Structure 1
Amino acid sequence: MKQDTVSVTLTIALPAATVFAVLADPTTHASIDGTGWVQECVDRAPLTRVGQVFRMAMYHARHPDGDYRMANQVRVLDAPRAIGWAPGMETADGGLEFGGWTWRYDLAPLGESETEVTLTYDWSAASGPTRERFRFPPFGPEHLPNSLRHLAEIAADR
């Protein structure tokens, strides 16, 4: 794939603040995820600041251990307009290593009761060896639209 990002947009019939609250709650991320890789949140605190780290228990059949943990660092937090994070792994010394990809949600209010949500997966900062190891994007084309539909359903239930 020649591009380094994929994005999809969906209009959700809810205010931006309602949608943003779901995204800032890591306990909802497993339900939002369209791949089934995200299992549950380890850190349950709401996302409130850039630099905050939240961990997620993951599963992928092609991962060497099957079960693993991602340590995501919030890179963008502009409530209720944008939220994004970089997935990483914790090192043995307690540091974080990032692979060069990010997830970002941009929310554009369309009046008081609708929000246009754009989900972007960006791997432009992935190194050559990382690009060789992973095939980007590592999921099918249905993943992003499914995730936005799940987000809309969860937000509607709040």
Structure 2
Amino acid sequence: MLRVALASLIAFLSIALLPAEANARLQCVAYARQIGEVHLSGNGRDWWGNAQGVYARGARPQAGAVLAFKGTGAMPYGHVAVVSKIVDSRHILINHANWSAPGMIERGVEVVDVSTAGDWSQVRVWYGKTRSLGLRPSPTFGFIYPRSAPADAAPSIVLPTVTASVDVASAAAQG
């Protein structure tokens, strides 16, 4: 019980203590450009194609890379998020905006690769309203790497499947 209360407090503080300019309601694209090193135009669904020939792209997560989501019926404009930390081969943390609530900025949000091939083509993202991973998988294109990324980040590499237990309270504390 204490752990859940502490996790909730940490989650609140991680959003409440953002710099004033970051507390403004932002769309995912504007926020990703503001905090990351990948600067593209268009809706989230357009970033993958717009990155071709400009930034390296692939299926391997890396801190600082942008995870580009495909457009769907529920998310027609797609989505983009900046990877903040690699937890293991199937779990990362991201910073993004406009996911759990309109314009809301979230940092340290858990994302789980649920693709059968382990290639990050389908993910579940922590959803603040339900305080759990999303109910449906979201399709992604992959990762767009900043120009400062090491040369070995560019190839599309399928990571091995690793079964890991993620503590939901810990994930809540970071999202």
- TM-score grouping bracket, smaller chain normalisation: 0.3 to 0.5
TM (normalized to structure 2)?
Answer: 0.33
Q: Larger strand proportion, structure 1 or 2?
A: 1
